[in-house]
Amino acid sequence: MLLAALAIAFVAIVLLLPYAGREEPGQSYDTPYYVWRTRAVASDGLGVLTTIPTGAVPERPGVPVLGATLGDVIGSDALTYTVILRAIAAVAIGLAAGAMALE
């Protein structure tokens, strides 16, 4: 159990250390897209993804629904949620790669 905790901490530090000194979070090319979708679903409901002709991909509602729900529950905005989700996903992918390498 301790070894697993150390592995998680190590991967988190290695992957998140480049972001530690920044005043603003780094954004990828699709961050504004996910922020926009999350805000649209939070304000107008899930149906908005089917009415917008911008390729909103109504078949993939997971990120905006989770973001809108968490935004209501913990009071975070869509940008904070998106940046935190990217960090958590990076750590999870790093741990999965390490687990596969060990196996």
pLDDT tens per residue across span 45-90: 888 877 776 665 666 778 888 888 888 888 888 888 887 787 788 8
In our burial notation (b when 16+ CB lie closer than 10 A, e otherwise), range 53-73 reads eeebeeeebebbbebbebbee
58 DSSP assignment? T
Neighbour-count burial of 25, counting CB atoms closer than 10 A to its CB (0-12 exposed, 13-18 middle, 19+ buried): middle
Q: How confident is the model at residue 91 (pLDDT cuts 50, 70, 90)?
A: confident
Average pLDDT over residues 20-32: 67
- Cβ pair 71, 81 in contact under 8 A: yes
Greater pLDDT, 74 or 30: 74
